[in-house]
Structure 1
Amino acid sequence: MIELYLKTNEIKKLDLISEIKTDAKDLFNIRIIDFTDSVLKEVSEKFGLDLSIFNQRKDIEISSHYLKSHDQLSFNFSIPNYNSETLFKEEEIFIIIKKEVVFYFLSSNIDKDFVNLTKTRYDFTSIHFGSHLEHFVFQIGIISDYYADLTEIISKRIKRFYENILNSKEYDATDLDLIMILNFNNLLIKESISNFQRILHLLIQNKFELITITTKINLELDDIAVISDHIQFNFDRLDDLEENINSKIDLEQNKIFRTLTIITVCISLPTLIAGIYGMNFKNMPELDWKFGYPSAIGLMIISFIIALIYFKMRK
């Protein structure tokens, strides 16, 4: 699907790249959702875009995700998608700025989340954008808000999990697995924000037609820095939670080992008596007693009870 954002704040939806007019003067940005290789080829040929950045998405270096030429700026970053109830999934976003038009290439999942976020927090119809760059900075603000929502979702899950752990008396491996999932999701957000911050810093440093909006980008960087602090708080909470669970598991194991130790000691005394009378010696007068057998049984029971009384007194 293709969406055109016009200077009149209108949104047009198209099905084919060929339907886009390259000489349209009221065009702010073009969003290409769930793009394919054939669509990328059409866009490249129609608008003269350099799409080499799509071939470097797996590179680690930030230089591979931020490419600047005399008439085009391209960058991309991955962003977690929170549609999953448990494990987040990374989605790629590619942004290209050329000839006063901003091109967005993203998945329908991320686009849906951005659209819902925009409708929830802003009256888009009442906002007037003076240029494609102002609209671009507005989209940066939406991404920043999206990061804040992701972090809030993780924070709520951690708090809810914390309450469940405090009210629970049983712990197992699934609790630790959930901590690992929350840690991983938090890590995805942290990595994505880190890359996004570096891209915004590069935008300011390279001044690619962005001199007029540098202040706004700096404000977004301040917001993202606050979000990063909350992400670190989440890591600290998860570390505390994992330590708490491990401590309680250790206490439960110590109780089990203590119980087993008491049982072992209590049984060892009757076993000692049984072992003595199981020896094949000729001179064992108790073997000839009329009450020898019940006396031995009684002695074993008494030794077991005495051991229990002793441990109970010692608590």
Structure 2
Amino acid sequence: MINTFVLRNGRLCQYPASKYHSEDIVPVWVDLVATSDDERAIVENRYGVTLPSHDELQDIEASARYYEAENGHIHLRTDFLLEDDGGPSRVITVAFVLTEDMLFSIHAEDLPVFRLVRMRARSRPGSVADYRDVLLELYATDAEYSADALEGIYQNLESVSQTVLQHQLTDETAAEVLNSIAQEEDLNGRVRGNMMDTRRAVSFLMRGRLLNPSQFDEARQILRDIESLDGHTVFLFEKINFLMDSTVGFININQNKTIKIFSVASVAFLPPTLVASIYGMNFENMPELGWKFGYPIAVAIMIASAVLPLFYFRRRGWLGYSRVVAKGITFA
């Protein structure tokens, strides 16, 4: 799909695909989404630009993300975050080609950042003056999109915190909590990586002296926004580690409860076993031959030797679940 945009009264106006090469128009932005080789060839022949293929988008070295071609066109590769409803987050690589007066973008899937930029440019006249403003608007919107993703992570972690800190965790619930924490940590890492890539791209534009003074100030504001997001990702990372450690700690507590049952049982039944062993090995003077109540008394001693340790453990509180109260939160 080819989306062609021209500037009309400070607004981005999209031309239908049917009029793409039938009218003599000079677009400011040409967006190619999941295009075929034939469609890409049409754009290359129409504007004399060399566009990367989809295979080149996927197989790219870090050193080749920003470079100037022999014809003077600037090539950039930038990762944009994509959150699927009900699925894991992904990073989509977008290739930008900057000519003298046009911006070309090539990506395999349509991105919410691009849709939002198109909507804002139509509703806010004067926000875009040339193709460089479009590119900066994409990067600024990407920072906002990442901020929304971080806000969603925080809300999900708040729900996880209530489950971990206010309920007695079972092994099944702990497994669900760990799965949720792992997903939020993965998204937090992708947001941080996405912001790092956006910072590199904006810095390249600033170092290359491709921006006018007003655009340069806007680029600096984008870098400041990204810097603030970096601090928030660090906070979320620490919160994720805390919840992860707390959940693993509750799993260990549940396991220790099971181990404690076996430990108490082995200690409680050790004296009866000792009594039975001594009674059964008395071959020289066997009590059952001359002692009428030998067996009942031995059984009574065995029962008493088992009950007394259990009574002692009960008095010490070793049989019940320990309860720790801290700042109004009870852990059972």
TM range (shorter): 0.7 to 0.9
Check whether the contact 2:188–2:233 (CA below 8 A) recurs between aligned residues. yes
Q: CA RMSD in A?
A: 2.6
Shift in CA distance, 267/60, structure 1 to aligned 2, threshold 3 Å: farther
Check whether the contact 1:80–1:189 (CA below 8 A) recurs between aligned residues. yes
Cross-structure match for 2:64:
64
Cross-structure match for 1:33:
33
How far apart, CA to CA, are the structure 1 residues paired with 2:293 and 2:3?
A: 100
Check whether the contact 1:34–1:108 (CA below 8 A) recurs between aligned residues. yes
Check whether the contact 2:139–2:222 (CA below 8 A) recurs between aligned residues. yes
Cross-structure match for 2:303:
301
Cross-structure match for 1:2:
2
Aligned-pair CA distance for 1:288: 4.0
Cross-structure match for 1:141:
140
How far apart, CA to CA, are the structure 1 residues paired with 2:15 and 2:301?
A: 92
Paired letter, 1:150 = A
The answer on 1:78 being equivalent to 2:79 is yes
The answer on 1:191 being equivalent to 2:189 is no
1:93-113 deviation line (CA, Å, top 9, x unaligned): 222111311112234441x45
Paired letter, 2:51 = L
Aligned-pair CA distance for 1:58: 3.1
How far apart, CA to CA, are the structure 2 residues paired with 1:115 and 1:150?
A: 17
Shift in CA distance, 53/2, structure 1 to aligned 2, threshold 3 Å: closer
The answer on 1:166 being equivalent to 2:182 is no
Cross-structure match for 2:265:
263
Cross-structure match for 2:99:
98
Aligned-pair CA distance for 1:85: 2.9
Task: Give ranges in structure 1 of 5+ residues lacking alignment.
Answer: none
Aligned-pair CA distance for 1:305: 0.8
Aligned-pair CA distance for 1:52: 4.5
Of the candidates 119, 124, 127, which is equivalent to residue 125 of structure 2? 127
How far apart, CA to CA, are the structure 1 residues paired with 2:241 and 2:289?
A: 64
Aligned-pair CA distance for 1:250: 2.5
Check whether the contact 1:56–1:64 (CA below 8 A) recurs between aligned residues. no
Q: What secondary structure, in the 3-state scheme, does the structure 2 residue paired with 1:11 have?
A: strand
Check whether the contact 1:4–1:29 (CA below 8 A) recurs between aligned residues. yes
Paired letter, 2:228 = V
Aligned-pair CA distance for 1:287: 5.1
1:151-204 deviation line (CA, Å, top 9, x unaligned): 212222122211221122114333223322221211111111111111110110
Shift in CA distance, 137/123, structure 1 to aligned 2, threshold 3 Å: closer
How far apart, CA to CA, are the structure 2 residues paired with 1:158 and 1:91?
A: 25
Task: Give ranges in structure 2 of 5+ residues lacking alignment.
Answer: 318-332
How far apart, CA to CA, are the structure 1 residues paired with 2:118 and 2:286?
A: 94
How far apart, CA to CA, are the structure 1 residues paired with 2:96 and 2:196?
A: 17
Check whether the contact 1:73–1:208 (CA below 8 A) recurs between aligned residues. no
Shift in CA distance, 14/277, structure 1 to aligned 2, threshold 3 Å: farther
Percent identical: 21
Check whether the contact 2:13–2:122 (CA below 8 A) recurs between aligned residues. no
Shift in CA distance, 10/220, structure 1 to aligned 2, threshold 3 Å: closer
Cross-structure match for 1:43:
43
Shift in CA distance, 275/287, structure 1 to aligned 2, threshold 3 Å: farther
More displaced 10-residue stretch of structure 1: 200-209 or 132-141: 132-141
Aligned-pair CA distance for 1:134: 2.2
Of the candidates 281, 286, 291, which is equivalent to residue 279 of structure 1? 281
How far apart, CA to CA, are the structure 2 residues paired with 1:116 and 1:139?
A: 9
Cross-structure match for 1:180:
182
Check whether the contact 1:114–1:146 (CA below 8 A) recurs between aligned residues. no
Q: What secondary structure, in the 3-state scheme, does the structure 2 residue paired with 1:20 have?
A: coil
TM-score using structure 1 length: 0.87
How far apart, CA to CA, are the structure 2 residues paired with 1:6 and 1:132?
A: 10
Shift in CA distance, 35/287, structure 1 to aligned 2, threshold 3 Å: farther
Paired letter, 2:149 = L
Shift in CA distance, 40/276, structure 1 to aligned 2, threshold 3 Å: farther
Aligned-pair CA distance for 1:286: 4.1
Shift in CA distance, 56/117, structure 1 to aligned 2, threshold 3 Å: closer
1:44-81 deviation line (CA, Å, top 9, x unaligned): 333222334852643342x2111223531111122221
